[in-house]
Amino acid sequence: MSYIDALASTLTRNRESAELSSEHLLLNEIREQPTTILDTLEAEKKSLPQAANFLIRRDIHFLGMGSSYCAGLYARYLLQEMAARRSEVHLASEFIHYPQDVVANDAFVAISQSGESVETVKAVELLKRKRALVLGITNNPESKLARLSNQTLLTHAGTEKVSATKSFTSTLTLLHMLSATISRRTGKINERKLSQLSNQLTKTASNLKHDFGRLEESCKPSSEQLAGSRSGMIVGRGPNLVAALQGALIFKEVAKIPTEGMSGGEFTHGPMEAVSKEMGVVVLGGGRTRELQAKLAGRAKTLGAYVLLLAPDASDGLDSIQFSACEESLMIFPCNVILNLLTYFTALRRGLNTDKFSVISKITRTE
């Protein structure tokens, strides 16, 4: 019996024993994301100008691990696009052992959902000894990160007990509006544009809430295909590269499928050789590179992989899940939610408990 046949037989047995309609903590937390976007916007609207003023005259560095590191990459993209500001993003685990010189005018934005992640806390402790300035972004106002930081922004995601979904979305919300507010303070945009950016994000959240039932149903057939894959690739460009990296992280964590997130351009420089019928490929489309992404998806399909395109518009000859059109910088929100749903339903198809970690824990407290 071939690997594919054996895996298909195993998955069928798992699927028969799993209750696909049962609701887990993870699914409930995924569903809360549109609301957490709106809650975070409302709760932190008075704090964002203060945070922007804190960062405005300084070189900005982002620190984090896992999904928090991915969020920092999104902020770097936004600051360049909106404010023409360069910034750097560091893995906290690298920074604490291979630190760079801290310049007096530098500011660090440390991101941790729990505010207790060991590497991020150690990095901030190191920075404080060097008298650096730190803005903390966390879901926990009583955490070590919050206590150590000069200023704090809160994500208002509510209690999150399983893999990072709504806390990640809330962090993206803060970083989007923080970047927009910095742009306003530096004169790159006017007050009308700032209000427009906030309204666009609110509309994106509202569209997600309206579309959620349809997106859930659209993910179920694709998850059956992905559950039979031996490995996966999630391919994005621009801000959606961040969604690809985060999607691959949660796919490994929850669905237990080795998955890599990468740029569409990078995919054609070597990784395309690994594509086969044993692989699932999710391509994130839309925006200025939509034609390149659709072309890449079509090529991966000819190599035998199961290919799924996530985009505002369908593409001939490809399985796709469509989301409501929005600005390219906001496509990360629907793409991230869809990837969360695909991960959840794929894990169920594989007979896995989505609410239980096998090796790690929710908060990483030891290196």
Q: For 185, how many CA atoms within 13 A lie in the half-sphere containing its CB?
A: 18
| Same fold flag, 3-19+209-349 and 33-189 | yes
State how far Cα 161 lies from the chain centre. Answer: 17
- Residue 363 and residue 240 in contact, taking contact as beta carbons nearer than 8 Å: no
Please provide residue 160's backbone torsions phi and psi, each rounded to the nearest 5 degrees.
-120, 120
Q: Which residue has the tokens 């420089």?
A: 269
Alpha helices (H) along 2-89: 3-17, 25-31, 33-43, 47-55, 67-83
| Amino acid symbol at 25 | L
Question: Contact at 8 Å (CB) between 155 and 137?
Answer: yes
Tens-place pLDDT, residues 189-212: 999 999 999 999 999 999 999 999
In the predicted model, is pLDDT for residue 241 greater than 80? Answer: yes
Summarize pLDDT for 298-314 with one digit per residue, the tens.
999 999 999 999 999 98
pLDDT at residue 315, rounded to an integer: 86
pLDDT in tens, 11-47: 444 443 344 444 689 999 999 999 999 999 999 999 9
CATH topology of domain 3-19+209-349: Rossmann fold (3.40.50)
Superfamily of domain 33-189: Glucose-6-phosphate isomerase like protein; domain 1 (3.40.50.10490)
Q: What is the pLDDT of residue 360?
A: 59
> Distance between CA atoms of 227 and 342, rounded to whole angstroms?
10
**What radius of gyration do the chain's Cα atoms show?**
20
CA dist 49 to 177, 198, 316, Å?
Answer: 10, 13, 45
For 32, the 3-state DSSP assignment is coil
pLDDT-derived band at 364 (thresholds 50, 70, 90) equals low
CA pair distance 56, 132, nearest whole angstrom: 15
At 219, is the secondary structure helix, strand, or coil?
Answer: helix
Provide the residue ranges of all domains of the chain, joining segments of one domain with +. 3-19+209-349, 33-189
Give the strand pairing for 259-263 and 231-236: parallel
DSSP 82-100: HH---EEEEEHHHHTTSPP
Nearest-angstrom CA–CA distance, 46 and 9:
55
* Average pLDDT across the chain, whole number: 91
68-82, 190-204, 267-281, 338-352: lowest mean pLDDT where?
Answer: 267-281
Which pLDDT does position 121 carry in this prediction? 97
Helix and strand numbers (H, E) in the chain are 14, 10
Q: Quote the pLDDT of residue 362.
A: 52
DSSP designation for 271: G
- As a whole number of angstroms, the distance between CA 72 and CA 85 comes to 14
pTM of the prediction?
Answer: 0.91
What's the burial of 254, exposed, middle or buried (CB within 10 Å: 0-12/13-18/19+)? buried
3-state helix, strand, coil in the chain (%, to 5): 55, 15, 30
The residues, ordered by sequence, that sit 6+ positions from 28 with a Cβ below 8 Å of its Cβ are: none
Mean pLDDT, to the nearest integer, of 237-241? 96
